[in-house]
Amino acid sequence: MKTDLSNSQIDAFNEDGFIVIEDFLNVGELENWRATLAESLAIRGGNKLPDRKSVGTLDDDESYYDTVFTQRLNLWMDNPNMRDLILDPEIGRMVCDLGGIDGVRCWHDQALIKPAWGNPTAWHLDTPFWSFFDKNAISIWVALDDATLQNGCLYFMPGSHKETTYENPGITQEFNSIFNHYPQFRDVMPTSAPMKAGSCSFHNGLAVHSAGANITPYDRRAMTCAFMPDGSTFNGQQNILSDKQVAALKVGDLLNNEDQNPLVYSRNS
């Protein structure tokens, strides 16, 4: 893995809210990530989460969502091989360097497979979905197939993370509904982020982003993970937490349960 980050890459991430790392994985690593994803999907079966079929509040219109991507969350929980890959402390260190933070926990990993002929991923923010508020939540998105302008690569609105709030338009069938909440982005020219298989991006969860339709007969596979700064607290939103977990939490409680949100990297340890 190419885990070194230069100061200019860190500066670009802070300025734009995203960064692409070409050839993050070498050929052998890419092969391993693909095989581990296939293994994880087979273990998981049809459930989106380890303990249940759907995400509840995340998917208001599940049948439409399924045409945007096949989504499987927290694969690390039921496959130790996936845990080794996606919760690698080296990735956690990169996230800390990019966000200028001291430690990170896993919020959730997520396989996102845009199926052949899949619909586009509407412009959205990530952080407002989640059960904590933090301006430095960061996701990694690893391309396991070439992600192209034709099969649904990512697009970002540079600098948008500096202006957005926790207001969430969600991922709906209306590709541009973000402009109802943030009309100032109507005039921004987005950056496309095509990536060769094995390349990756990091993005701030408050950066406005989307992905195109998959106009090919092949799936577009990506493995992603959302990282939460260590010390984040519960904001009252359920997101991927179970009813039981939510019942046991009060707003303001630390989200530091190692079985749910393991510490991936800390500068202090």
State the residues that interact with ligand AKG by CB under 6 A. 69, 112, 114, 121, 126, 139, 141, 152, 209, 211, 222, 224
Identify what 156 binds: ligand AKG, Fe ion, none; CB under 5 to 8 Å per kind. none
Residue 69 CB, shortest distance to ligand AKG, in Å, is: 5
Residue 171 CB, shortest distance to ligand AKG, in Å, is: 8
Residue 246 CB, shortest distance to ligand AKG, in Å, is: 23
CA distance 24 to 3: 7
Residue 168 CB, shortest distance to ligand AKG, in Å, is: 13
Identify what 206 binds: ligand AKG, Fe ion, none; CB under 5 to 8 Å per kind. none
CB 80 within 8 A of CB 43: no
CA distance 264 to 105: 5
Residue 269 CB, shortest distance to ligand AKG, in Å, is: 28
Identify what 114 binds: Fe ion, ligand AKG, none; CB under 5 to 8 Å per kind. ligand AKG
> Quick one: 97 or 126, whose CB is closer to Fe ion?
126
Positions in 114-153 near Fe ion (CB under 5 A): 126
Identify what 121 binds: Fe ion, ligand AKG, none; CB under 5 to 8 Å per kind. ligand AKG
> Quick one: 126 or 134, whose CB is closer to Fe ion?
126
By beta carbon distance, the residue nearest ligand AKG is: 211
Task: Burial-class residue 244 by CB neighbours within 10 Å (0-12, 13-18, 19+).
Answer: exposed
CA distance 131 to 234: 6
Would you state the structure tokens that stand for residue 185, as one six-digit string?
A: 């982005």
Contacts with Fe ion, residue ranges (CB under 5 A): 126
